[in-house]
């Protein structure tokens, strides 16, 4: 029996090594934007190594203990061949809770990644464009040299770029504790404009920010930020990490103001003002959706679940210097839904929908910043206007509900 297990492991390893690598700019990355939990990764520099922290979702069913992982790095999305690849064999426990995500960490040589801009990790038996299968990490100089990760009260890496107000986290730094600086910035950013907006009236897409508050601390200590806002955390001379601090229930929206704000994508300014001035703004929001559903309560409830479910998902996926629903990708995600096809090259990300009501394709250009290495801005075009108003009309007529919803 032992011999058979060894042979099986050798066969799996051989299959992993011989697995054909995908052509990156032909990969459909829509799985990254589906509602189910997907794999994510973070990195910390440790001397001449880069430690990778990977979380694989429990729902993927693609990973088993001691199964090899493929680790592949490319120079860019248009590269035909990787600059480096390896197979990592884990020595983790044989048994685990199948309902819990799989946590894995391991080191790779930092020198091998100096010319790489993108890294992916996936179970050896999966293909990396399977939803939830691959964890993707953009390798900027800041990521390659950052000596810390943020961990939660269970000492697990957060693997997200937003914090909750009063959430307790630790600045887990490699090596001796070092001085750290927390800076707070203005966070008065506007939500995304419709996709047909004339770029000339948008104003500048970037601006220089000056710190309003500066707090000195030390890496290794527990950190609690009480006030929501936009921050950076810098350890010693390393590049700062952007942090968006949000109310405790984020990414969900629960207060009246929070529920009304995303409705700007479906309503007029006058309608939003009436909602905000109402004696009971939350009841006014319910009536907004009930009118859209032609007074059919089951449909209204489904519209609310769909709309605010997308808002929460956009917050999880796209939050950067502002909540995810306010970004360009969040705008399309909330109103049009998750794209069926996502293609990336070195110069753009393209979203495609199969339903002609949603139109497209929609093209985004990368605009990385301190607060998000994967931030993208939509290329706005006047021909989107008819498509956009038709999509909004679908919401306002109660037609944007999943198949099978009660009517």
The CATH number linked to 113 is: 2.60.40
**Is residue 282 situated within a structural domain?**
yes
**Is residue 27 situated within a structural domain?**
yes
Same domain, 74 and 107: yes
Same domain, 72 and 55: yes
Same domain, 164 and 120: no
**Strand 135-138 with 241-246, pairing:** unpaired
Same domain, 204 and 278: no
In tens, the pLDDT along 270-306 reads 999 999 999 999 999 999 999 999 999 999 999 999 9
Query: Can you give the pLDDT at residue 92?
Result: 54
**Is residue 273 situated within a structural domain?**
yes
The domain boundary, picked from 246, 270, 304, lies at 246
Q: pTM of this prediction?
A: 0.90
Same domain, 13 and 118: yes
Domain that holds residue 59: 2-145
Same domain, 7 and 36: yes
**Is residue 264 situated within a structural domain?**
yes
Same domain, 10 and 140: yes
DSSP string, 255-311: SHHHHHGGGGGTS-HHHHHHHHHSSSHHHHHHHHHHHHTTT-HHHHHHHHHHHHHHH
**Is residue 218 situated within a structural domain?**
yes
Same domain, 127 and 160: no
Same domain, 375 and 313: yes
The domain boundary, picked from 246, 268, 299, lies at 246
**Is residue 403 situated within a structural domain?**
no
Query: Can you give the pLDDT at residue 359?
Result: 77
**Is residue 402 situated within a structural domain?**
no
Same domain, 14 and 104: yes
- Other C-beta atoms closer than 10 Å to the C-beta of 19 total 17
Rounded Cα distance, 221 and 178, in Å: 10
Number of domains into which the chain is organized? 3
The one-digit pLDDT tens for each residue of the chain (407 residues) are 443 333 334 334 444 445 578 788 899 999 889 866 788 999 999 999 999 999 988 755 566 666 789 999 999 999 999 999 999 987 654 445 666 788 899 999 999 999 999 999 998 877 777 766 889 999 999 999 999 999 998 889 999 889 999 999 999 999 888 999 999 999 989 999 999 998 777 666 566 778 899 999 988 889 999 999 999 999 999 999 999 999 999 999 999 999 999 999 999 999 999 999 999 999 999 999 999 999 999 999 999 999 999 999 999 999 999 999 999 999 999 999 999 999 999 999 999 998 877 777 999 999 988 888 889 999 999 999 999 999 999 999 998 865 444 44
The domain boundary, picked from 145, 179, 209, lies at 145
Rounded Cα distance, 72 and 69, in Å: 10
Comparing CA positions, the residue from 169, 182, 184, 183 lying closest to residue 220 is 169
3-state secondary structure of 325: helix
Same domain, 339 and 220: no
Same domain, 120 and 168: no
**Is residue 405 situated within a structural domain?**
no
């Amino acid at each position: 029996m032992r011999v058979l297990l060894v042979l099986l492991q050798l066969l799996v390893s051989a299959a992993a090594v011989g697995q054909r690598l995908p052509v990156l700019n032909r990969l459909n990355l829509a799985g990254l934007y589906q509602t189910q939990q997907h794999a994510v990764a973070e990195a910390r520099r440790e001397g001449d190594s880069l430690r990778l922290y990977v979380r694989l979702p429990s729902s993927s069913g693609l990973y088993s203990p001691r199964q090899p992982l493929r680790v592949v790095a490319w120079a860019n999305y248009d590269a035909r061949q990787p600059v480096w690849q390896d197979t990592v064999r884990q020595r983790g426990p044989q048994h685990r809770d199948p309902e819990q995500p799989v946590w894995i960490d391991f080191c790779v040589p930092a020198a091998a990644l100096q010319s790489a801009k993108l890294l992916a990790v996936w179970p050896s038996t999966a293909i990396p464009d399977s939803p939830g299968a691959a964890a993707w990490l953009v390798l900027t100089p800041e990521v390659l040299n950052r000596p810390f990760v943020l961990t939660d009260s269970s000492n697990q890496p957060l693997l997200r770029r937003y914090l909750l107000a009063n959430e307790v986290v630790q600045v887990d730094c490699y090596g001796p504790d070092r001085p750290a600086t927390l800076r707070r910035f203005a966070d008065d950013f506007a939500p995304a404009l419709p996709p047909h907006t004339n770029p000339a009236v948008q104003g500048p897409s970037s601006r220089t920010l000056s710190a309003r508050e500066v707090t000195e601390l030390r890496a290794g200590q527990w950190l609690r930020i009480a006030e929501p806002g936009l921050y950076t955390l810098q350890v010693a001379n390393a590049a700062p990490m952007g942090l968006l601090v949000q109310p405790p229930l984020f990414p969900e929206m629960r207060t009246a103001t929070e529920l009304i704000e995303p409705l700007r994508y479906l309503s007029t300014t006058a309608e939003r003002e009436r909602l905000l001035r109402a004696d009971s703004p939350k009841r006014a929001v319910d009536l907004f959706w009930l009118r859209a559903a032609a007074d059919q309560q089951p449909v209204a409830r489904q519209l609310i679940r769909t709309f605010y479910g997308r808002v929460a998902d956009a917050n999880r996926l796209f939050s950067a210097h502002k909540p995810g629903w306010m970004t360009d990708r969040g705008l399309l995600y909330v109103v049009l839904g998750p794209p069926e096809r996502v293609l990336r090259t070195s110069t753009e990300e393209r979203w495609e929908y199969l339903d002609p009501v949603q139109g497209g394709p929609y093209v985004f250009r990368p605009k990385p910043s301190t607060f998000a290495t994967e931030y993208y801005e939509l290329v706005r075009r006047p021909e989107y206007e008819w498509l956009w108003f038709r999509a909004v009309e679908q919401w306002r007529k109660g037609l944007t509900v999943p198949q099978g919803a009660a009517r």
